[in-house]
Structure 1
Amino acid sequence: MPYSRTDLKLEIQTHFDKGFSRDLKILDVGPGAGMYGGLLSEYSDILDYSLGFELDCLEIYPPYIEKFKLKEIYKNVFIGDICTFNISSYDYIILGDVLEHLSIDNAKKVLNTINKNNQKCMVAVPYLSEQGEHEGNIYEAHLQPDLTPEIMKQRYPSLKLLYGNDSYGYYVNYNFNKMKETLVIEYNNLFKKPIKPIYPKNEFKVNFIKGCKFEVIGENKNNYHVEFINQKTNKVIYETDITNNMWTKPSLEYFVDFKIRITDQNNVVWENKFNAENKRVYIHFASNAIGDTLAWFPYAEEFRKKHKCKLIVSTFWNDWFKDTYPNITFVEPGEEQHDLYAMYEVGWHYNEDEDIDYNRIPSNFRKMPLSKTAADQLGLEYREIKPKLSFKKNKSQISGDYVVIAPHASSHAKYWNYKGGWQTVVDYLNDKGYKVVMITKEPMYDDWHDSKLGGTLKGVINKTGNFPLDERANDIMNAKALIGIGSGLSWLSWALGTPVVMISGFSEPYSEFEDCERIYAPKGKCGGCFNKVRLDAGDWEWCPEHKDTDRHFECTTSIKPQVVIDAINRQLEKTP
C-alpha cells in the first residue's frame, strides 16, 4: 500500500532530530504517500517545531508522484528502480516499507551497495505481511512476506534492530550506542502520545458520466460544501455537505454546463468547470429504431464540434455513419469504455411509474420534434439537421420514373386508414406515367397485411420483404418521391434527400421533420394522440380516445385521397 504505517514514527523523528545534522543528504526510496518526507521536513505537533531536513525521493511507480503531490514534499523527485539507481551522492538512504517488495537477491545487492559506499540506511519492514498488487501497481506486491525479527537477523546480518514491536521493525546499518543515552533522555522528556499520520492533501475528482459526480479522496478529515451550478442560468442545481472519501452528484443525467464549487468554512477552495476539449466523451443512442437513429445522430457530431472532444459513439447502425463521420470513434452498444470524461445516453426515458423521467431528459419529448430530443439531452441549440449517410447511389433496378410507397407500420394507429385511399393514389400515379414501387418489409399478397391497405394493391411493383437497407436506400435515392407514414423509411428518404409525402394523423405535424409535405387530420377531427399519452405497443388497435367507436382512427380515416394527391404533385414539381 502507498501509505506507510504509523508505528514508532515519534521515535524515528526523535532519532533523526537528535542524531543528525540538518545538512544530511537523504534519499527516501519508495516514498508512496510521502510519510518520511513529512516526518522529517514539516512541522511536528509533538516536537512543536519543524525538523527541517531536506529529502530527495526515488519512486518506481510514476502515478504516485502526482496522486500524492510528492513534488511538494521532496526537494527532488526521481523515477527509477533502487536496484539500478545511482545512490552514491547521498549520506543516508531510507528504505521504508521497501525491502519486502524486493526479492532476497535484489535486497542483498542493494544493502551491499549501501554498505560498500559507507552510507547509513534505515530499513522499515512489516512482519509476516502478504500483499498483492494494489490498484494496478504491480510493485505493491510483497516478495518477502515471511519476514520476522529472526529472519531479518539471519538474512541481513548487517542490519541492527533500532525500534520494533510484534508487527513492525526499524533496522539500521550503523552503531547507535553513542546516541542511545541522548535519545532516551529526549524521548522521556516528551509528552508521549500517538503521532498523527502525515497524509497528502485530499484530492478532488470530478467526472460527467451520466451526470456530474464529485468525489473527495484522502485521509485528511475535513468538511466540504459542494455546489453544482448551471453556468447557463447561474443557478445552483444541487448542494450538499460531504467529508473526505465521500462522493455526491445531482440526479440529472443529461448534459448541463456544470460548474462545481467547493467551499471550506465559507472559503472557496476549488472550482471546476465542464471542459471536454481533447477528452474522451461517450454518447450512446438507446433506440434501435431507424427513425430515432437518423433523427438523433447529427447532434453527436454537433456536440463534438462544439466541445472539441474525442467523441465515441455507439448506435445499432454504426455502418451508416462510419465513412461519413471520420472524426468519431464508433463502438458497439454495450462495449465497455474506459478513461471517460463524460457520458450521455440519448433516448426517450420513462421512470418506474411509466412517466417521463425528467432526470434523464430535460423536457417533454412528446411536445417537440423527434430530433430535438437529442439536441436537448446534449445541451445544444436546436435546428433540423440531416445526417450524412454512407449509402451509395447506384444504377436503378427499375426503369423509368417511379415513386416508392411505404404504407405499413408497427401500429395500426400509424396507418392511413381511409378506405381505398392507397389504391386511389396508386391509380393516379400510374395514370400520370409513374411506376409505383412498394418497399416495405411487410409482404404483399399476405391477407392480413393487405387488409390494412384495403386489399391487395394493384398497379404496384412488389419489392416487399427483407431486403438489405442499402438496397432500400438505392430504391429511394433513384425515386422521384416517397409516400409514407410515420415510419423509418420516411425518415430514411428525408435523410437521403428524396422528397417525402408523410401521412400521419396520430402524431402532431411538429413531431417529425420539416422538410416534407406533411398531411395531418382535418380541422375538427381527433388527432395527435401520440403526443398526449404513451403508445401502448402491445395493443394493435390502440386509439386512446375512440377505440371501438365509430370514431376509431378518425385522425386518418378522415384524410381524403385528393389531399394526398395534391401534396404529391407539389413534391413532384420540385424534382427534375
Structure 2
Amino acid sequence: MKPIVFFSAAQNEMNEYHQALLVRLMEKAGEVKGETGISGLRIDFNFGLRLEVPAGDFAVRVSDSESGQVYFEGAVSNQLLASMEKYYIPWQVEVYQSGSMVFAHRLDVTEQTVYFYLGNALGDMLAVMPYVLAFQEKYHCRVVCERQENFAPLFDVCWPQFPMVEKLPEDAYAAFVLGIFQNAPILSPTDARSVPLTQLGGVLLHLPVVPRKLQLTAAGRNPLIEEPYVCIATQASGVNKCWHYPQGWKIIIKRLKQAGYRVLCIDGDRELRQGSYHVGIPKGAEDYTGRRPLDERLALLNGAACFIGVSSGLSWLAYAAGTPVVMISGFTLPSNEFFTPYRVINYQVCHGCHNDLRVDDKNYFCPYHQGTEREMECSKGITVEYVWQKIKYCLENGREDWDEKCE
C-alpha cells in the first residue's frame, strides 16, 4: 500500500486514539477497489474517501459537491489520499495531470453496494436503523451490514433484506460507520451528545428527513404468557445510568403485582457491579435475565403491557416494539433518547451530565459530585412516588394512547 496522506476539513491534530482508529478502518477496508480508467488511479468510499494516485505530476481537489467546501487541494504523487471523516459526505473529486483535468467523480451510491458498520450497542443500532432504511429507500442501493452475532436474530426477523456479512464485499462502493460517538471529526461531525439520538443517523448519512418510527414484531414467536405482565430492566452499560433510589424497584414491583401484573426482569446479566454500587434482579421480579436471542426479547416485549427501564438498549428495543416505555433517567436529558410521555427525571437536583459537553466523556461516573453526599443524586433523587405515578398513567392509557403520542 502506498504512503497514506490523511486529510480533514477540521484540521485537527491526531492523537494516538485517532491514529489507531484510522489504521484499523484502513485495514478493514483493504485495497482501494474502484478503477478509474487511468493506470494506477483508483477510488472508493470505503470508510471515507480514498484515492490512490500513481507517481507523476498529479494534483487533486476534494470538495463537498453541495456546499463547495474544500477538504483538500494540492499535489499528490505515489500516495493514498484518505479522508479522516468516515460518515457520508457528498464528495466531489477532481484529478489533474500536468495542469489538465483527467478525472472527476461525484459520490453517487444509487444502486451501488453500501456496507454499514453498526457497532455492537443495541440502543445505538436501533437509533440509527430508521435512517438506514430511509437511505436504502432513497438510493435503491444494496445494503449489507457487518455481522454482529447479538444482532443477527433480530436482522433475520426484522430486516432480512439486509444481509449480515463477515467482511467488506469486493463490490462495495461505499462503507460507513454508524454509531453514537463523541470523537469528531472521524466518526461523527459533532459530539453525539449534542444531538438527539433520534436525529443522529440523519447527521451521519446526510439525510434531512424524519424517518418512519420502527415498528418491530417477532412474527411466529409467542412467549406463552397468558397473564398480564410488565417487563423491566434495571441495568445499563454503567451504574450511572441506573436508578438508585433506596428500595425503589422492590416497592414498584410489589405495587405492580398488587395491581395484577407479573413482573419479568429481562436484563442481559443477573447483576452489574461498579465500585460500591450493585444492581441486580429486584426482589419480587421473575428472572428472565440472560443473553437471550433478541427476537425472543422482542416477542416478550410485543406482549408486555409496558416496559420500565433506564437509558439502555432494552428501552430502545421496547420502543421499537411499540411497547409503552417508562424511562427513569437523570443521567441523560429527555432530548437524548426517543420521546416518551412517561419519562421520569428530577430537574431539581443535578442532572443531565451525559449531555454536558464540559464533561470528559471518557470519565463521567459522577463528574460533579463523586465522593460527596450528592453523588448520583440525579438517580437517587427520583422518588418512588414519581415513578409510580408515571407507571399508573402509562398502564391506564394503554398502547393506543402511546401510539398516538409517539407517532
TM-score scaled by structure 1? 0.56
Q: Deviations over 1:469-493 (max 9, x none)?
A: 3333222211100111112221111
* Residue among 508, 518, 525 paired with 2:349: 525
The separation in 1 between residues aligned to 2:347 and 2:389, in whole angstroms, is 17
Q: Which residue in 2 is equivalent to 1:557?
A: 380
Deviations 1:491-525 (A, max 9, x none): 111111111000011111111112452212x2231
Aligned partner letter, 1:479: A
The answer on 1:374 being equivalent to 2:201 is yes
Higher relative contact order (CA 8 A, sep 6+): 2
Gaps of 5+ in 2: 1-34, 401-407
For 1:148-163, list aligned pairs within 5 A. none
Tell me: CA distance 1:229–1:507, structure 2 relative to 1, closer, same or farther (3 Å).
same
Shift of 1:438: 2.2
Q: Deviations over 1:24-60 (max 9, x none)?
A: xxxxxxxxxxxxxxxxxxxxxxxxxxxxxxxxxxxxx
Could you tell me which of 231, 234, 239 is aligned with 2:68?
A: 234
| 2:398 paired with 1:571 | no
**Counterpart code for 1:301:** L
Whether the aligned pair in 2 keeps the contact of 1:371 and 1:384 (CA below 8 Å) is no
Counterpart residue number, 2:171: 339
Distance 1:323 1:405, change over 3 A: closer
1:280-299 residue pairs with structure 2 within 5 A?
280-286=113-119, 288-299=120-131
Measure, in 2, the Cα distance between the counterparts of 1:68 and 1:510.
45
Distance between the aligned counterparts of 2:352 and 2:109, measured in 1? Answer: 39
Distance 1:212 1:464 in 2: 43
Q: Distance in 2 between matches of 1:454 and 1:249?
A: 46
The 5 Å alignment of 1:31-180 reads none
Q: Which residue number in structure 1 is paired with residue 28 of structure 2?
A: none
Question: Is the CA contact 1:418–1:558 (under 8 Å) kept in the aligned structure 2?
Answer: yes
- Separation (CA, whole Å) in 2 of partners of 1:216 and 1:453: 55
Q: What corresponds to 1:464 in structure 2?
A: 289
SS of equivalent to 2:156: coil
Per the alignment, residue 91 of structure 2 pairs with 258
- Identity level (%): 29
Kept in 1: contact 2:131–2:211 (CA 8 A): no
Displacement of 1:452: 4.4
Provide structure 1 residue ranges, at least 5 long, that are not aligned to the other structure.
1-66, 70-200, 351-355
Aligned partners of 1:454, 1:343: CA distance in 2, in Å? 39
Q: Distance in 2 between matches of 1:242 and 1:281?
A: 27
SS at match of 1:322: helix
Instruction: Report if the CA contact (8 A) 1:393-1:478 is conserved.
Output: no
Write the distance in 2 (CA, Å) between the matches of 1:338 and 1:226: 26
Rounded to whole Å, the distance in 2 between the matches of 1:246 and 1:453 is: 53
**One-letter identity of the residue aligned with 1:270:** F
CA drift of 1:453 comes to 6.1
1:260, 1:273 within 8 Å by CA — same for their partners in 2? yes
User: Where do 1:111-510 residues align within 5 Å?
Assistant: 204-217=41-54, 221=56, 223-243=57-77, 245-263=78-96, 267-286=100-119, 288-316=120-148, 317-332=151-166, 335-349=167-181, 356-381=183-208, 383=210, 385-387=212-214, 389=216, 391-392=218-219, 394-443=221-270, 452=278, 457-458=283-284, 460-510=285-335
Question: How many positions carry a matched residue from both structures?
Answer: 360
**Letter in structure 2 aligned against 1:226:** V
Query: For 1:519 and 1:270, how far apart are their aligned partners in 2?
Result: 56
> Greater CA radius of gyration, 1 or 2?
1
Q: 1:211 to 1:405 in 2, by over 3 A?
A: same
Q: Which amino acid aligns with 1:530?
A: H
Summarize deviations over 1:306-340 as a string: whole Å, max 9, x none: 222222211411331234434433213xx243132
Q: CA deviation at 1:208?
A: 1.0
Note if contact 1:295-1:386 (Cα within 8 Å) is conserved in structure 2. no
Instruction: Classify 1:378/1:260 alpha carbon distance in 2 versus 1 (closer, same or farther; 3 Å).
Output: same
Question: What SS does the aligned partner of 1:361 have?
Answer: coil
Question: CA 1:502 to 1:455, structure 2 compared with 1: closer, same or farther past 3 Å?
Answer: closer
Does the CA-based 8 Å contact 2:136-2:143 persist in structure 1? yes
Q: CA deviation at 1:265?
A: 6.2
Residues 313/364 of structure 1: CA separation in 2 closer, same or farther (3 Å cut): same
SS of residue in 1 equivalent to 2:76: strand
Name the SS of the counterpart of 1:575 in structure 2.
helix
Change (3 A) 1:392 1:264: same
SS at match of 1:493: helix
Residues of 1 paired with 2:44 and 2:389: CA distance? 54
Instruction: Report if the CA contact (8 A) 2:44-2:50 is conserved.
Output: yes
* Secondary structure of 2:172 counterpart: coil
CA shift for structure 1 position 429: 2.3
Residue 547 of structure 1 corresponds to: 370
Q: Could you tell me which residue of structure 1 aligns to residue 339 of structure 2?
A: 514
Contact kept in structure 2, 1:291 and 1:492, CA below 8 Å: yes
Q: Provide the rounded CA distance (Å) in 1 between the counterparts of 2:293 and 2:319.
A: 18
